Structure 1
Amino acid sequence: MPPPLVSSPEQPQPLRVVLFGVKNWVERLGTVWVSGQLIELKRRSGAVTHFLTLRDTIAEVSVTVTASSAVLDAAGPIAEGMEVVALVHPTVWSRNGSLSFECSDLRASGEGRLLAAIEQRKRMLQAEGLFDPSRKRRLPFLPQGVGLITGQGSAAERDVLQVARARWPGVRFVVRHAVMQGQGCVEDVREALAVLDRDPRVDVIVVARGGGSVQDLLPFSDESLARAVFACATPVISAIGHEPDTPIIDLVADLRAATPTDAAKRVVPDVADERAKAQQALARVRAAMLRLIDRETQLVRSLRTRPVLADPLGPVNVQFDKLDELRQRCRRAATVRLREESAWVHQAVSRARALSPRATLLRGYAILSDNEGKTIGSTSGIEPGQPLMALLADGTLHAQVTDVQPREDPA
């Protein structure tokens, strides 16, 4: 032990001297392997040093631990809540005098080691695409047959059968019993999967088991079982453990159920529920049809109140009256035009008759012509004894000139 520092109120020791003394004394303890539960992990992006908090598994004791990125990466997949063992070296921070532990090696232990191995397996299978949501198939609405893989006489079998039959009494199960934990579990479940997958009566397969420890559920994180589920042509529902349990088979299956009871609720519909939905749908259809009929009735009533439907011949009568009026106007216009044209024709005829030679003949005149038909309008060139023709209003006279007496003053 280092000698105690001499100090008094008159001669106190500087804080740095005391802190360095404590730091040197603590760091002389060297490295030691400790076990505990990882309750907090703060990985800072881009930082070299990260902070962890370890707690004793029994006593309410916790310490702060620092670890480099290389130490955390070498530890594999670790998460809060896991049990770990760490090689630590105690030290005192000079800046604030806090006690810390520098970790140079970190390993999962107990269940933590199992969880780390499972986590590493998950990452590998995920990289291969076994968890891809796009490959998961939809469950049939009402399966012809349900394959059930579970332990013989187990509570999981009782829950699935009772709940499913209560929801849909006509559901048919094909049950295959298997060892659901420990040695032989993986082989039994794989064989049952293969048998049910080949059965044409089975439309969906349920793998059900109640809760248990990490070790009890470890077979359902087996790589070969996960690949067997992935290879199934029939949709698979995984109902392993309780809500917090997530074995690898849950991630590969087409549907993860929180519990066996939840699987029974998902594999078949509730007949009462479906009947209620059908009644609701029927009520909605009936209400929609009544609304449609009422709307169309209102439309018909509205159309019937319109003048064109109240008196269908009304528009025809209106047009007929218009046509009759137009006919009367046309008749009047034609009559007036005919009168005007008739008067014009009469005037033209009167003028033509006034200018016609016949009118002159009717007044007692005659038209003289020689034998050749040439009109004689003068005594010149006419000889006594020359035959002439006189055209009268009612006929022709043949005459002979007996004497010619020309007028001395023709004017």
Structure 2
Amino acid sequence: MTDLPELPAKALDTSPEHPWPVRHLSAKIGEYVHRMSGVWVEGQIVQLNRRAGMSFLTLRDTEADVSLSVTAAGRVLGEITEGAHVVVHATPTFWAKRGTLQLQADSARVVGLGDLLARIEQLRRVLAAEGLFDADRKVPLPFLPAVVGLVCGRESKAEHDVVVNARDRWPQVEFVIREVAVQGPRAVPEVGAAIAELDADPRVEVIVVARGGGSVEDLLPFSNETMVRAAAACRTPLVSAIGHETDTPLLDLVADHRASTPTDAAKRIVPDVAEERSRVRQARARSSAAVEQLLRRETERLAALRSRPCLSLPEVLIDARQETIDRLLGDARRSLGQRVVAGEAEVSRLLAQVTALSPAATLDRGYAVVQRTDGSVVRDPHEVGAGDRLRIRVARGELAAVAEGTHEARDVDAVY
């Protein structure tokens, strides 16, 4: 008989030439899981079946699409019903033949509302410290969005309230609707995916997340961290319309705008066409009144200006100025005439002085100027010798002469 080859001791030692058979791998997984100790697991109960004194259920994670099968004796769950949020103490069991993992529960208890609210409060403080609720992050709503994205439950009253009321206010508004689960374990991933999808649509100008009222437990998904962060990452203005006046999930705090109800959200996202028309009429009336008042005031101002003398009798100003000009012109002429007369008298006086002092006047009185031929003036008889040629200038011309000699000087006054 041929000996079978020895199997690798560890998974790390396997190879294409030396693999593990499926039964061997399944047994190894079972051995590993069997060594695990009991563990407390938190989740939400879905698909609960009770039969033959046993309870068969699926425990689903509240934030991810992950679930595990759980079996428990009937007394373990007691009065716990489907949909409850529980913590279960269970031992992992691996069924080698089927290759499935299952939990054997020996204890279970419902997570109290107080515990859930305490967790939400702790999460609120953490997110607030990160600044996700700050007012400066809020994006204003557009005045008149052409396309509105709506995230709501399937065939829900919230959808009806938003769509009908919005179209009553502005019939032309268009909606892109994403119907998703708004409670239960699938609410978080479906709502988050719908927000991301609408945010990526360039046509959508506003996103509304709407759900009607419900218990605190029903509204827990809207305080889930994953959903809140998905809303915070949304770049399109987001309106949260969850529950009623008294309900305030964390989605309300991170949204750009909070509406107390879906109907209130419809009033916030679009204006009322009747109200806007009324405002237009009022604005037109105010504008017309303002224009009429302005025209009336300016007409009165023009009338007041026209009644002034400068406009009613403009020649009055011209006449006054003409009189002033005539007076100044007369003064100027008289002043100029006086200056001319005074100037003429002064010129005559100076002329007389110049004439009296000029050499010509002296010559005209009978005096003469004797010059040698070189032009020099003879002032002393001794400067001329007998026979010197001389020039004698008189008032009416010149004479040529020849010196014969000199004589002694005589008294000039005696000559004349």
TM-score range, shorter chain: 0.5 to 0.7
In the other structure, the counterpart of 2:251 is: 249
**Correspondences of 1:71-82 after superposition (within 5 Å):** none
In the other structure, the counterpart of 1:145 is: 147
1:357–1:211 distance in 2 versus 1, CA, 3 Å: same
In the other structure, the counterpart of 2:163 is: 161
Pick the aligned partner of 2:362 from 340, 357, 361.
357
TM-score by length of 2: 0.57
1:358–1:239 distance in 2 versus 1, CA, 3 Å: same
Which has the larger displacement, 294-303 or 180-189? 294-303
In the other structure, the counterpart of 1:259 is: 261
Displacement of 1:336 in angstroms is 2.1
- Unaligned runs of 5+ residues in structure 1 are 1-107
Q: Cα deviation per residue 1:172-216 (whole Å; 9 max; x = unaligned)?
A: 011122232334333332332233223222111111111122122
Displacement of 1:253 in angstroms is 1.4
Distance in 2 (CA, whole Å) between partners of 1:213 and 1:386 is: 159
Q: Cα deviation per residue 1:260-284 (whole Å; 9 max; x = unaligned)?
A: 1110011112223333333444444
1:259–1:388 distance in 2 versus 1, CA, 3 Å: closer
In the other structure, the counterpart of 2:193 is: 191
Pick the aligned partner of 2:336 from 331, 335, 359.
331
Displacement of 1:220 in angstroms is 1.7
1:367/1:375 contact within 8 Å kept: no
Distance in 2 (CA, whole Å) between partners of 1:147 and 1:297 is: 55
Displacement of 1:147 in angstroms is 0.9
State whether structure 2 residue 346 is matched by structure 1 residue 341: yes
1:308/1:315 contact within 8 Å kept: no
Pick the aligned partner of 1:227 from 222, 229, 238.
229
1:357–1:262 distance in 2 versus 1, CA, 3 Å: same
- Unaligned runs of 5+ residues in structure 2 are 1-109
The aligned amino acid for 1:341 is E
Q: CA RMSD in A?
A: 4.5
Distance in 2 (CA, whole Å) between partners of 1:203 and 1:409 is: 136
SS of 1:208 mapped into structure 2: strand
Which has the larger displacement, 168-177 or 333-342? 333-342
State whether structure 2 residue 120 is matched by structure 1 residue 115: no
Q: Cα deviation per residue 1:313-351 (whole Å; 9 max; x = unaligned)?
A: 568746744662454144213322223223313532563
1:168–1:326 distance in 2 versus 1, CA, 3 Å: farther
Pick the aligned partner of 1:182 from 181, 184, 190.
184
Displacement of 1:238 in angstroms is 0.7
In the other structure, the counterpart of 2:127 is: 125
SS of 2:217 mapped into structure 1: helix
Aligned length, in residue pairs: 296
The aligned amino acid for 1:270 is D
Displacement of 1:393 in angstroms is 5.7
SS of 1:214 mapped into structure 2: coil
1:226/1:252 contact within 8 Å kept: yes
SS of 1:258 mapped into structure 2: coil
SS of 2:246 mapped into structure 1: coil
Displacement of 1:252 in angstroms is 1.7
Distance in 2 (CA, whole Å) between partners of 1:193 and 1:283 is: 43
2:149/2:198 contact within 8 Å kept: yes
SS of 2:235 mapped into structure 1: coil
TM-score by length of 1: 0.57
**Correspondences of 1:200-211 after superposition (within 5 Å):** 200-211=202-213
The aligned amino acid for 1:242 is H
Q: Cα deviation per residue 1:388-408 (whole Å; 9 max; x = unaligned)?
A: 998776567789999x99999
SS of 1:146 mapped into structure 2: strand
In the other structure, the counterpart of 2:277 is: 275
SS of 2:191 mapped into structure 1: helix
1:155–1:339 distance in 2 versus 1, CA, 3 Å: same
1:399–1:195 distance in 2 versus 1, CA, 3 Å: closer
SS of 2:260 mapped into structure 1: coil
Distance in 2 (CA, whole Å) between partners of 1:377 and 1:117 is: 147
**Correspondences of 1:280-299 after superposition (within 5 Å):** 280-289=282-291
